[in-house]
Structure 1
């Protein structure tokens, strides 16, 4: 009987963790830092976790692997070649871990996303031998794509991209076509190189037929992969050191309540006071000087990208549940400095006049350009801008906004992205610095049909 595999989703980071069990004993692959979710899954399944495996020292989140292993007394498997400051069960290419008499895990070296990346094939053991039913591929083989090879620095990218190609082919050659492919990244994660196309499941056989790394010649694939790389979140630089140091369990206790006077003082002092509501609610009325990172998008990704590392954050949410969700999102990437929180609405958070944001769609922008001069600010990634953009729009990718804020003119700014989420973040940041802003809350795919002149970069 093949193991049962339970997926634990973290949509805001575009990642998945996994728990696999045989009805009695379980192991976990790449757990997020908030390990209570894993413990709940194990309890519901009625299984005990004996082993925890890391595919690599992650770049996009703080792991819960060490904390989970310590909590349960489980074996913690981390590549023997990784330099870490904690005791682990060292594991290498070809090592086999007998999790139970019916289930074992085989390590497969798959460098490319990192030099020490491992994939893990789960094998069902019978009297006639062991058969791989699934492979946990971390940041190696993704659905229709691969993990990006540039996160360790440009000096290593050329070597890693070649390793990645070889690793993908090794998996395809060594594993049966019916084996499930179970990656950690690739569901909106910036750790992905290339599009995963929205797929939610795959097998080795399906990847052989559709994944460019398995259908293209190496030189073409390498060239396409390198050409498609774009910026990734600034907080990534802090993740590998945190994971090598051995992070403990996060503190998810409720933050201290911040009253109106406290909020005013923090805003006046230039601290980060973050409004968690949707961009529609924020635009309708907000505390002047607050920043809008809605929980309805990739909240932790973009907060982690923009915030000065180590800065204190005060959270404003409609409910204590909303604040708790944001707090959970933040600790996953090591943002532990939560100074306080307030719940309710803007009228509960300030006695000062509320700020508002004017909102519009691309058709409005098309019309207004004929009547008065406006400045169009496109906060999408450079690659998105190069593919297609509104003529004469200034591109300042959202992750570069604070560093390039002096380049943005003091004019009427019409700010857009691909759908409105990133534009709302940028609009709130610029409005807090006394810019006149209009939030274009619309789908960029319709900009040309709305009458705007479009162009692309060579």
Structure 2
């Protein structure tokens, strides 16, 4: 048996292809399915199943298209109630893949109500668990993405799901969909794959859930009991304690997440073409939002008024989906020789398909500017009378390192809540984050509102704090 994992770092996710004696199982494929099907073809694999663990919150799925293109059987959790044809996966009702391969669905609600993990058995032996957004490496799937009203109920359900999975044989391989960098995790997830045994000793949430006597393993037989023999009151108290831990420090939820479930329920069309037409600066449609993907130094020297600057990177699509109205028409701005294929693909992964074109020559229209400075220059600006600082890091980051006197507003909140009223347009705004990436994005938003941003690049707020501490100690 071989398992090929396909990482998508910007979303913190991975899809998996299991191959056993020429039969393949594809799990949680993202929309750009060509990268998966290319490996299927190269290895001459008969793709038997395309499995979805849940209706994803962080990307639009490629499962339906992968199944249509290959003839594989599309399998979704029975309660997904998608609007297209699929085979419903019921708890512990095996799916036969042939050549000694069995797929055993295990209902694991918590991340979503319908969530289902899949235990793959080869020749009767548990070999791999595809846990989607349930049990993760060093973490668990967050239960609050469907709203705060349901979060505690789902957290309690996640407690039972993790206990169920903890009963699997320790050597069972663990292959989750969500991982490091995903906003679907309840805490910072670690490595991308693991084993049940390793998680029992190294995953604090699983240790919390699995305390006490574990249940009979779902891998033992299709009709095995899967309950936990504890007193009802004790179990309820334990589930509440687990929910408290899971919900203690929720991370922000990207704005585009609220659109993903609906898209995945109704069906996702094929990927749009990755190539987009060239436009002139004067031909940008009035209804389009301009996203500048040039390096930050080029953006600082001059950009189209009102444009949002997001440098290329693994997380480009996530930031665009968080900062722009969903499915708004988009025009990219790029340098003359800059390939924007990856940016178009990242946007399409979250259903933002309306990229109208790319502008490569801004001409005299590039009037929006900001200033980039290194740490020593930033500290000099900070020492001037009346200096004002904007910290655009996440709240959790600020808890560990806070700069006295800084105005604090997480980057996406500049869009939803606006620029803080405390910032004076008549004075420069010193903008910082952890390294300069988010600060440069924020600078374009500030510049569009008439502010004069001065961005700390190549360093962040912790470096400013450390420099101050070193100065005081000297």
TM-score by length of 2: 0.87
1:372 Cα offset (Å): 2.4
Where 1:368 maps in the other structure, the secondary structure is: helix
- 1:246 aligned to 2:263? no
Q: Secondary structure at the match of 1:449?
A: helix
Aligned to 2:254: 233
1:288–1:355 Cα contact (<8 Å) kept:
yes
Matches within 5 A, 1:104-253: 104-125=102-123, 130-173=124-167, 175-197=168-190, 199-216=191-208, 218=238, 220-253=241-274
C-alpha distance in 2 between matches for 1:393 and 1:371: 14
Q: SS at the partner of 1:192?
A: coil
Q: Does structure 2 retain, via aligned residues, the 8 Å contact 1:139–1:147?
A: yes
| Aligned-residue offset at 1:311 | 1.3
Alpha-carbon distance in structure 2 between the residues aligned to 1:155 and 1:119: 24
Show the counterpart of 1:326. Answer: 343
Q: Post-superposition shift, 1:383?
A: 2.4
Taking structure 1 as reference, are residues 140 and 341 closer, same or farther at Cα in structure 2, changes over 3 Å only?
same
Give unmatched runs, 5+ long, in structure 2.
Answer: 212-237
Question: Which is worse superposed, 83-92 or 361-370?
Answer: 361-370
Quote how far apart the aligned CAs of 1:178 are. Answer: 1.3
Between the aligned partners of 1:277 and 1:187, the Cα distance in structure 2 is: 27
Cα pair 1:363 1:450 within 8 Å, conserved = no
SS of residue paired to 1:122: strand
Distance (whole Å) between structure 1 residues aligned to residue 144 and residue 91 of structure 2: 23
- Superposed CA deviations along residues 396-453 of structure 1, whole A, max 9, x for unmatched, are 1112111222534224211111222111111111112221001112134323211179
Q: Which residue of 1 aligns with 2:48?
A: 50
1:265-303 CA distances to partner (integer Å, 9 max, x unpaired)? x5xx47421121232443355444432111124111111
Q: What's the counterpart of residue 262 of structure 1?
A: 283
Count of paired positions: 437
Secondary structure of 2:351's aligned partner: coil
Q: 1:299 to 1:253 in 2, by over 3 A?
A: closer
Give the 3 Å change call, closer, same or farther, for CA 109–386 of structure 1 in structure 2: same
Contact residue 297 and residue 421 of structure 1 kept, 8 A? no
CA contact (8 A) 2:303 2:362 kept: no
Q: Distance in 2 between matches of 1:321 and 1:358?
A: 23
Deviation, structure 1 residue 354: 5.3
Q: Which moved more, 1:71-80 or 1:238-247?
A: 71-80
Bigger mean CA deviation after superposition, 55-64 or 12-21: 12-21
**The one of 345, 349, 358 aligned to 1:341:** 358
Answer whether contact 1:358 1:438 (CA < 8 A) is retained: yes
For 1:5 and 1:48, the matched residues in 2 are separated by 14
Q: Deviations over 1:202-261 (max 9, x none)?
A: 111110001111223645543232121021101111000000001121212422221132
Aligned-pair distance for 1:108? Answer: 0.8
Q: Hey, what does 1:456 align to over in structure 2?
A: none
